[in-house]
Structure 1
């Protein structure tokens, strides 16, 4: 029997196989951030394709802080009925579902929200400064409020019937911003030493645990590295993993990078030794090391393409679950095919528009796949040959409209 096909239990929840869909931006919500029939269609398709577990795309905990148009927001029970319908789709097919809870911090396009906030008022690199503005530094009262927002969103997700949540602590979002000395210049209890910089993550975890039941899964996604000079060190990363493990985290997903150094899309991660590349996954060498440091379940996402590579990773003990993301955007039934011993059909390559400054940002790694999700959600077949340039122009147009609407709303509120 393939390792991929073996069941695994976390608490009293059974994962029918070892394949987990990693979080990817769906961009399917309406202006109010509500889940709808498109989400149901998309996740039902994946469930019927045999997935053991699906982690949702970014779900924001604050409507004032959205990372993109079309993102789901869960801050009250307003959409409990829709969330319950979404959760029940997974249960019907035996697919565990975790909602990824997130706050983008400074990673919000200019004009989308009234303002952006972050641990410190650190601007983006010149290449991205045209898209992302300099944030305002959070007050301590605001930090405490955001912590409780994560907890309240988790409570609502459990009430809706989801098996758990994943805290997004990677890819340069707010938790990751607190962890990195590049974006956290604070001199109070939330900045400075790694013990202070990880306080935000640990307090969110504790607050979520306090508002959910014992068998509710709480996972976290963490960077193995920022892949930026002056970022969080390897020793500091290990200490964060050890600290959250000691608190009782159920599952850690290992990833890496930020918008400014997008290793999660393979842009930086393949500057590796041939022996590492042969193991496929971008972050498997780090997982080998961290496995010796923590006792919780581990998931590695990024780079897996063959059944042999996935089973070898599980057999080595470096991870307990295989995370797949982009391949599932063009192969809805991929899980069933992998368990049958068949490899990924379409090689994942960088999505290029031909516009240099756009291609350097790796934004197409989000929006091209989101276009595939919309097709799947509408009952259509994904299209691996979809034009990146066409998708980018449509995205730019919708972003401009959302920003103009945001400015209009801001004037009305003023």
Structure 2
């Protein structure tokens, strides 16, 4: 058996070759302009990640419908988009032999009330745990509207290919629309789009099939999928594995494993209540990936928790994952892949961020905006500032976004 190392290339079943095992997972950038096209700074920061050695760059979530934004400065890719801006972004992000895939998303009901008074979802069920106060109850999509949304995903994928992205990723995790359709907690339809798991997974399978028909067999299509929602009555690990099997059988090229929703944000990586085995092995969802590996041979990415070359290498050597997924570490160490490949003992830590006031932290989303500000620094051609004060990050966000910065924009 050939030993897989961090700098080993990965060949997908369609023949596409990713130069190493480092996967930059999507992060919120908030770098769309007033028309929701990418600002020039996105090309700057993604080129830096590409030159830093990452094998596969994943964009922050790009919305497929400009009437359905998850956050105020989301980038949107549709017929109204300025493709020249996307071409510049893709050209920079594919430097140094790097793959760059567009993460395509529709938020469904996870739209802040100040952005949309009537969001849509599979069913007219509000978010729970108090979130219904700031996220409006959705209207249930009609079947013609479901087909229209599927078409928007396909259109965005075709435009991404035209603009020079080397692949696309369907965002099927974290409680957004695809995730909502998969969950019996949020999808209580009685037609062919709800009820049984077979019906609930129809939405994502139709998106994938539409993309594959439009893009061809040689163009990579991946998905980010929850291992589970970790919510009572929600999407379970057993159901997730069945969806993985169906997508693998359909021919999907790469599966990124995450977990949770914004009602229960397991993907945020809190150190609290983490199993000892997770702390020891670093990655949050590695045990789940080991079970998935028994079902499919589709390449897998496990994202979340990696903090050292040793932990990353152990995960690859175990065979549970084919790529190491990292997000926030890239906002502080843009050349992390080069460092980890060159130093087998490389490691890093992330700060526990707080303004010192829990109410302020919660109101401003300090753990989100601090990392956004690091990305904005790089977008301006500057270096990240690991010592940046959380207060300064909050103030910079307020200065850039105005009063909307003080409005809750994440579930």
TM bracket, shorter-chain basis: over 0.9
List per-residue Cα deviations over 1:123-182 (Å, max 9, x = no partner).
Answer: 122432332221111111111100010001000111111110000000011000111111
Q: Give the counterpart of 1:198 among 196, 201, 206.
A: 201
**What is the deviation of 1:88?**
1.6
Q: Which sits farther off after the overlay, 10-19 or 60-69?
A: 10-19
- What is aligned with 2:103? 100
- Give TM-score, length-normalised by structure 2: 0.92
- What is aligned with 1:322? 324
Q: Give the counterpart of 1:304 among 300, 303, 306.
A: 306
- In the TM superposition, 1:11-160 aligns within 5 A as 11-76=14-79, 78-160=81-163
- What is aligned with 1:4? 6
- What is aligned with 1:284? 286
**What is the deviation of 1:114?**
4.8
Structure 1 pair 325/7, CA: closer, same or farther in 2 (3 Å)? same
**What is the deviation of 1:359?**
4.5
Could you tell me whether the CA contact under 8 Å between 2:70 and 2:112 is conserved in 1?
Answer: yes
- What is aligned with 1:387? 389
**What is the deviation of 1:70?**
1.4
Q: Distance in 1 between matches of 2:351 and 2:292?
A: 28
Could you tell me whether the CA contact under 8 Å between 2:184 and 2:235 is conserved in 1?
Answer: yes
Structure 1 pair 197/360, CA: closer, same or farther in 2 (3 Å)? farther
- In the TM superposition, 1:387-406 aligns within 5 A as 387-392=389-394, 394-395=396-397, 398=401, 400-401=403-404
List per-residue Cα deviations over 1:92-124 (Å, max 9, x = no partner).
Answer: 311100100000011111121353111112112
**What is the deviation of 1:87?**
1.6
Partner SS, residue 78 of structure 1: coil
**What is the deviation of 1:336?**
0.5
Q: Distance in 2 between matches of 1:392 and 1:181?
A: 37
Q: Distance in 1 between matches of 2:359 and 2:154?
A: 38
Structure 1 pair 327/403, CA: closer, same or farther in 2 (3 Å)? closer
Partner SS, residue 310 of structure 1: helix
**What is the deviation of 1:215?**
1.3
Q: Distance in 2 between matches of 1:361 and 1:229?
A: 26
Q: Which sits farther off after the overlay, 63-72 or 116-125?
A: 116-125
**What is the deviation of 1:2?**
6.9
- Runs of at least 5 residues in structure 2 that lack an aligned partner in the other structure: none
- Give TM-score, length-normalised by structure 1: 0.92
**Runs of 4+ off more than 6 Å:** none
List per-residue Cα deviations over 1:349-394 (Å, max 9, x = no partner).
Answer: 4433444356569943432211110100111111112232443355
